[in-house]
Amino acid sequence: MTREFNSDYVRDRGISGIVAISDGRSRSLSSNTIRNAQAPFAIHSIGKVFTGVLLLRLIEDNIIPEGALDRPIQLCLSEEVIQKLSPVVRDQLARTTLREVMLHQGRYGDYLDKYMDAISRAIAEGRSVPKIHRPQDFLAYADEGLVELGPNGSTYSNLGILLVGFAIEHLYHQSTNRSIPYQEILKQYLINPAGIQMFQTEMPSGARVNPADPIAPHIVGGPAGGYWTTANDMLRFGDWLGQQCKREPFMRLVQLYGGEFLQR
């Protein structure tokens, strides 16, 4: 067992967290403040991996055409999505492909900063925090302008990956003529097949958060991240994804289009 997977190391460094590993058998190590691998945590931007994997699984199953990745990103034209975006962002949709948005090359900005500021203000003023009932509600906090791309041709974008989630929902509806929410698509094609038992958008009972961060308990998950799950369920996801990558058709898609998460 390596020193990094050693209880003395955890105690000496004052770590508050849990490590779960699998190399043929699963085991976990937790700090004194977190007793077991069933304790839920917010996984923040690791949720983006779920969004990327979901899109590739839908392509593999011929529900979303592979060619859609190299066409301008398509979103629902209803006021629930497109009409909530600024004119500048709406115009940009015609100039960026779904693949570019997946790779943070779409010049879309953020929504998380304004969303977290709104939570912080509500707490400070003794008001109820903003409620997020579905991913579309995040668009109230979306940046209205575009960002410059970095030297590597990309700029990390929470809003961009949120739009990828809406594109998945829209393309799924086009293909199946079934209008179901993104979260249900995710559950059907990824959460259930992976055997994940705890995967929630809102903080579940018994979840662990940083007590010094008053915003943490109010984080709500969506395509760009923020879901709540456990270390054991992340192991289940990793094992399932490893099995998927042993299949040539899926691994081909990962190698071609999985740049947002392949190197994570």
Note the pLDDT of residue 32: 61
Q: What's residue 263's pLDDT?
A: 52
Structure-token pair, residue 171 = 């393309």
Confidence of residue 21 (pLDDT cuts 50, 70, 90): confident
Structure confidence at residue 38 as a pLDDT band (50, 70, 90): confident
pLDDT in tens, 137-151: 999 999 999 999 999
Name the pLDDT band for 6 (thresholds 50, 70, 90): low
What pLDDT does 1 receive? 38
Considering only CA atoms, which of 172, 169, 180, 144 is closest in space to residue 159?
144
Asked whether the beta carbons of 41 and 229 are under 8 A apart, the reply is yes
To the nearest whole number, what is the mean pLDDT of the chain?
89
The C-alpha angle with vertex 209 and arms to 37 and 231, in degrees rounded to 5, equals 20
For the beta carbon of residue 87, count every other beta carbon within 10 angstroms: 8
The domains found in the chain, sorted by start residue, are 1-37 (no CATH), 38-257 (3.40.710.10)
pLDDT 10s digits, 153-188 = 999 999 999 999 999 999 999 999 998 999 999 999
Give the amino acid at 234: M
**Residue 77: pLDDT over 80:** no
Band of residue 258 on the pLDDT scale cut at 50, 70, 90: confident
pLDDT tens per residue across span 199-212: 999 999 988 888 88
pTM for this model (two decimals): 0.89
Residue whose pair of structure tokens reads 């984080």 in the numeric block? 219
- Using CA atoms, how far apart are residues 54 and 51, in angstroms rounded to an integer? 5
Cβ-contact 134, 144 below 8 angstroms: no
